Structure 1
């Protein structure tokens, strides 16, 4: 593991594999850290396939810092990814990510299209109800706590427990916020998840998708997946100039199935634990 300062934030990251191998950045979803079950395991399989894999904690995730100055949490994370790639002097990178990781990868690639050779994305969050749920999940409990008990109540939320345990500075950063300003920021960040008929992915415009001319493998979401709707994945595929749509290596009920898994890093359990099943398809597509 290592730490590096990017855009005023200290980010926690780790490389797997030969430093001379081509770089691939793997980004998870939720606010899960880089050592969540399934991520290092998929990373190791991609290393075996010839890549040098970068695992990283996004701002507000794992052991990385957080700030509240960006227009949205997604913008903060994608700009952190662009800055991390620049700071590590990675060239001709491959991006892969699922759920929020797919959104962050798309947004980052739109900001540096000339430095991304190929991409793979799956579990793309979208649809009116799903996005409304994200606004509440990421911002609603924050607003509720801050309105009732100020920032002291916010730092007691279960949603910050893991990050504070890994990076105690997160607690200090949160306590330093003005509660009213924090509520206003969370309202703005929540609004950033609003569904639009103009784009399937919040934070991406049709013009942004048009910039992504590199080969991209888009996994079609399950019909039963209400968090990452099938329509969203198909809409993204249509907007991408050079997308190949593929069926994932699991059944239609996969998201509903893994959502019942316990999150237990030590026992290597969690909703990403089956991501290593993607490795053969990823390697077939992403390798030269």
Structure 2
């Protein structure tokens, strides 16, 4: 699969659909790669709807490189997305994403609002406990490992196994880090997830939201979803100048259910496997 240099990082990506179709970027969540169950399936449906769909591995995900110079992991990822869009000469682009992908979508759009035609977002991470969980999920195990066994312990973490298998350079990049500096970076990156009463999304200010005047489709989170709280989705909707708030194509317990699904790429199982259900709603709205 092709890779392209963005900000000194090799970014793995795939384009599907008619070359002449309007460009659309689909960004998944977690540290999951672009071929995670449900992501390419949704991408294929959007491509069938006439879009030129970009699937990509964010830095530190899948087969892409990673660096530790950005103020936060989210900033690293959104700047990579902006650079990727520029490198591919995408104009008047549509951005869609779920979970971490919704955060990266919003942050990238705020950096180039004039080049973004429409946005669709779902499973927006938020809430005090939800964001605290992200800080541990992304940074806590890294700090614990580095403090106990240095970078050798970090590269042995299950959280890096898939990336290292896909891109052996990840191991070399990690091993080249000074353990104390790495712990300090993870502390900063963890702090970037801190809950604030000023904004529902870490890395986004009220002024950032105000710049997003393009049409946005915001899917309301389930009341039972403590990782992507309902209040977060409704708060984002209120801050966006031109947002349409809609119900998702699944029930209230969706996240609680899919978070128990096995990660089984061979049998196309995982947390995002039901994302293709979004396609009809997305296409109807995007083409309205």
For the criterion TM > 0.5, the same-fold answer is yes
CA distance in 2, matches of 1:170, 1:287: 40
Aligned to 2:67: 67
Aligned to 1:114: 114
Q: Which runs of 5+ in 2 are unaligned?
A: none
**Aligned-pair distance for 1:287?**
2.0
CA distance in 1, matches of 2:184, 2:230: 33
2:265 alignment partner, SS class: coil
1:185 alignment partner, SS class: helix
CA distance in 1, matches of 2:48, 2:158: 36
State the Cα deviation string for residues 124-150 of structure 1 (Å, max 9, x = none): 000000000000000000000000000
Asked whether 1:52 is paired with 2:75, we answer no
2:47 alignment partner, SS class: helix
CA distance in 2, matches of 1:18, 1:248: 27
Aligned to 1:262: 262
CA distance in 2, matches of 1:72, 1:171: 20
Aligned to 2:185: 185
Aligned to 1:195: 195
2:266 alignment partner, SS class: coil
Aligned to 1:76: 76
Q: Which runs of 5+ in 1 are unaligned?
A: none
Aligned to 1:145: 145
**Aligned-pair distance for 1:286?**
1.1
CA distance in 2, matches of 1:245, 1:264: 32
Asked whether 1:166 is paired with 2:166, we answer yes
**What TM-score, normalized by structure 1, do the two folds share?**
1.00
State the Cα deviation string for residues 34-91 of structure 1 (Å, max 9, x = none): 0000011001100111101000000000000000000000000000000000001000
Aligned to 1:227: 227
Aligned to 1:218: 218
CA distance in 2, matches of 1:259, 1:159: 16
**What TM-score, normalized by structure 2, do the two folds share?**
1.00
Asked whether 1:34 is paired with 2:40, we answer no
**Aligned-pair distance for 1:268?**
0.3
State the Cα deviation string for residues 193-229 of structure 1 (Å, max 9, x = none): 0000000000000000000000000000000000000
CA distance in 2, matches of 1:5, 1:45: 28
CA distance in 1, matches of 2:165, 2:267: 18
2:173 alignment partner, SS class: helix
Following superposition, which runs of at least 4 residues in structure 1 exceed 6 angstroms of deviation? none
CA distance in 1, matches of 2:186, 2:90: 33
1:266 alignment partner, SS class: helix
Aligned to 1:209: 209
Aligned to 1:2: 2
